[in-house]
Amino acid sequence: AETNRAYGNINMNYDATDWLKLDYTLGADYYSNQLLDAQAQSSSAFASGEIFRTDGNNLQIDHNLTATLSHTFNPNLSGTFTLGQNLNTRRFRRTDVNGQNLVAATPFNLQNTTAWIPSEFKSLVHSESYFGQATADLFNQLYLTAALRNDGFSTFGSSNPRAWYPKASAAWTFTNALGKTEQKGVLSYGKLGAA
């Protein structure tokens, strides 16, 4: 077996203002593999011998763009709002050839067989996502998050090519409400959460 792989990404961050940050990432991942498996003429599984040859490669390209607004309104209220986009494409190709009936005991390659049975598999998936998330920090004890994501995939049916995914969560650090912000006492830290 032989595998080759190359991957990398580029990331750019830009602080447009003290309250607006932009982030962009573009990445790619490519790998290929070749596999050769042989059954000798004397094998119990296939007495006349056979060769299996597989060649495959996979390419994935991913793009992410986000903009985050953050602001502290006063010591008791701060929050963030994030908008983003993700584009992704994945391509996979694999070719298999089963060579049967070895002509000679060696070499173990397809040209040394009398019958070839090929098969090929290809897939291509594109996805497009948009998302937004808002967070709020209230009185240094109540933390709220709400988010919404919309995904579209080339593998979804044509009658319903996109789907929505909402999310919400809340957490309350009740020990902060009791004034226990330092590590002392029987209960130094306590938090309740729901999502």
Predicted confidence (pLDDT) per residue in 66-121, tens digit: 999 999 999 999 999 999 999 999 999 999 999 999 999 889 989 999 999 999 99
Q: Which residue has the tokens 């000679």?
A: 104
In the beta sheet, which residues pair with residue 75? none
The reported pLDDT for the residue numbered 74 is 95
C-alpha distances in Å from residue 66, one per residue of 134, 147, 155: 13, 14, 25
Predicted confidence (pLDDT) per residue in 147-179, tens digit: 999 999 999 988 889 999 999 999 999 888 776
The reported pLDDT for the residue numbered 185 is 62
- Cα(100)–Cα(68) distance, integer angstroms: 60
Q: Which residue has the tokens 């209960």?
A: 187
Give the global pTM. 0.75
For residue 49, the one-letter residue type is G
- The fraction of the chain above a pLDDT of 90, given in percent, is 77
The reported pLDDT for the residue numbered 177 is 77
DSSP, collapsed to helix, strand or coil, labels residue 21 as: strand
Q: Residue 183 above 60 pLDDT?
A: no
Mean pLDDT on 128-154:
96
The reported pLDDT for the residue numbered 171 is 96
Closest by Cα among 156, 96, 165 to 131: 165
CA angle at 31 for the pair 6 and 1, rounded to the nearest 5°: 120
